[in-house]
Amino acid sequence: MDKHSKIYVAGHRGMVGSAVVRRLQTEGYRNIVTRTSRELDLRNQAAVNDFFAEERPEIVVLAAAKVGGILANSTYPAQFLYDNLIIAANVIHAAHENGVTKLLNLGSSCIYPRMAPQPLQETALLTGPLEETNRAYAVAKIAAIELCDHYRTQYGDDFISAMPTNLYGPGDNFDLQGSHVLPALMRKMVEAKERRAPQVEVWGSGRPMREFLYADDLADACLFLLRHVSVPGPINVGTGQDLSIRELAELIRDVVGYEGELVFDPSKPDGTPRKLLDVSRLAALGWTARTGLREGIEKTLAWYLQARREASAELRS
């Protein structure tokens, strides 16, 4: 990569894509190409092919995806499978056809089997059944890894795949119908504090263990991978540390300053019991995460409160 390389960031308005754009700009990359979903529907193969033929990007970061928490994944599995599968197929194939020199495909730690040994190593891929609540999404992400690997094997394309752990940060989705656990809990507690509500409901038993990575740390890892790494198969990106959902909820309550009770509802699904990534491979290559969970939650809360204020001001104007 040099500072004049034309870089296409697919999904630049999302939490991950926007973090990648910020990181690239901080490093002095200015030839960044983006398109909104209205400008370019990545599910439309002809439109994707035309875009690549016209823009001829040299580097691609595939951060576009349909994402959501347990509720969204369980409610709309067909859309999660179809949208993510066809987005990956269209972008990866168009990148090959138009001579992209490097492509970074971003997936998810949900690709690994539900009961795989912890911490999850890259070699665990396709060794057992997936977690049922997000199987559709996981299958699409696994297919994207396979596409990158087979284009590498058959054509010599330098396509790589990074599998981040659970992500959070500025630009996250705080819609309670489609959000992941951390932003959902943050929004619930902010609103409960404002209403002086006596309690906040938390889905599940609180026992599952989860690892969380700040989005700007992932963006830093993406730049490192683009510059220094060219290997097949998934590469785990995380912190190597996890905590229970109960501990997460208590930490968010403390950062928000909410003083009410946390009520856990075991009738709601827990998902995978534990999902901790083995990040030793990436650490050996020279990259580790830098943002602690409390610091990241504080930054995310500040962003969320500011975004709410701005949205409220727009409604009043």
Q: Residue 1 domain-assigned?
A: no
Digit-by-digit pLDDT tens for the chain (317 residues) are 889 999 999 999 999 999 999 999 999 999 999 999 999 999 999 999 999 999 999 999 999 998 887 778 888 899 999 999 999 999 999 999 999 999 999 999 999 999 999 999 999 999 999 998 889 999 999 999 999 999 999 999 999 999 999 999 999 999 988 788 999 999 999 999 999 999 999 999 999 999 999 999 999 999 999 999 999 999 999 999 999 999 999 999 999 999 999 999 999 988 888 899 999 999 999 999 999 999 999 999 999 999 999 988 888 87
- C-alpha distances out from residue 240 to 16, 141, 175, Å: 19, 21, 28
Label residues 222-259 b or e (16+ Cβ within 10 Å = b).
bbbbbeebeeebbbbbbbbebbebbebbebbbebbebe
Which residue's entry shows tokens 């409604």? 315
pLDDT computed for residue 33 by the predictor? 98
> Is 122 buried (19+), middle (13-18) or exposed (0-12) by CB count in 10 A?
buried
Which residue's entry shows tokens 């890892």? 221
Q: Residue 91 domain-assigned?
A: yes
Pairing outcome for strands 243-244 and 209-210: antiparallel
Whole-model pTM? 0.93
| Contact of 211 with 242, CB cutoff 8 Å | yes
Point out the residues that are catalytic.
Answer: 137
- C-alpha distances out from residue 306 to 196, 295, 316, Å: 20, 17, 15
User: In terms of residue numbers, what domain contains 161?
Assistant: 7-316
Which three-class secondary structure state does DSSP give residue 71?
Answer: helix
Annotation: binding site for NADP(+): 11-17, 106-109, 141, 164-167, 180
| Contact of 316 with 241, CB cutoff 8 Å | no
pLDDT computed for residue 227 by the predictor? 97
CATH code at position 141: 3.40.50.720
Closest CA to 152 of 73, 95, 72, 218: 95
Annotation: binding site: 11-17, 106-109, 141, 164-167, 180, 188, 203, 210, 270
pLDDT computed for residue 272 by the predictor? 80
Annotation: binding site for substrate: 188, 203, 210, 270
CA-CA distance, 169 to 305, in Å (whole number)? Answer: 12
Domain count, the chain: 1
Per the DSSP assignment, residues forming a β-bridge with 161 are 105, 234
pLDDT computed for residue 69 by the predictor? 75
Q: Residue 2 domain-assigned?
A: no
| Contact of 70 with 110, CB cutoff 8 Å | no
Phi, psi of 107 (to 5 degrees): -115, -135
Q: Residue 300 domain-assigned?
A: yes
For 88, other C-beta atoms within 10 Å of its C-beta total 25
Q: Residue 241 domain-assigned?
A: yes
CA-CA distance, 193 to 257, in Å (whole number)? Answer: 8
pLDDT computed for residue 308 by the predictor? 94
| Contact of 214 with 168, CB cutoff 8 Å | yes
Q: Residue 96 domain-assigned?
A: yes
Closest CA to 303 of 163, 135, 186: 186
